[in-house]
Amino acid sequence: MPDLKIKENLYKISRLNKNYPRYDEIIKLHKDAIDEKNDIYIDPETGFAVLTAEFLLKRGYCCGSGCRHCPYDEKA
């Protein structure tokens, strides 16, 4: 089932270092947002809205803003 494999890979996209103190919590929020078909989740530390990798992939391009879950290579 290819859709499930794609989703599993989207869950893992993050520019956060795995040693970041709230890494596991943030990855869970990201996964939950994708599962619930939400384009964003709220960062527990800052209160800012964070776009999901699924939303960014559907958008179709990298904006160069350094989005946390950007599925594209960073712009040079």
pTM: 0.87
> Domains of the chain: which residue ranges?
2-59
Residue for token digits 């960014």?
56
Measured in degrees and rounded to the nearest 5, phi and psi for residue 46 equal -100, -25
Residue 30: the pLDDT is 97
Which comes out higher in pLDDT, residue 3 or 41?
41
User: What CA–CA distance (Å, rounded) separates 61 from 24?
Assistant: 27
pLDDT digits (tens, 9 = 90+) for 6-36: 788 899 899 999 999 999 999 999 999 999 9
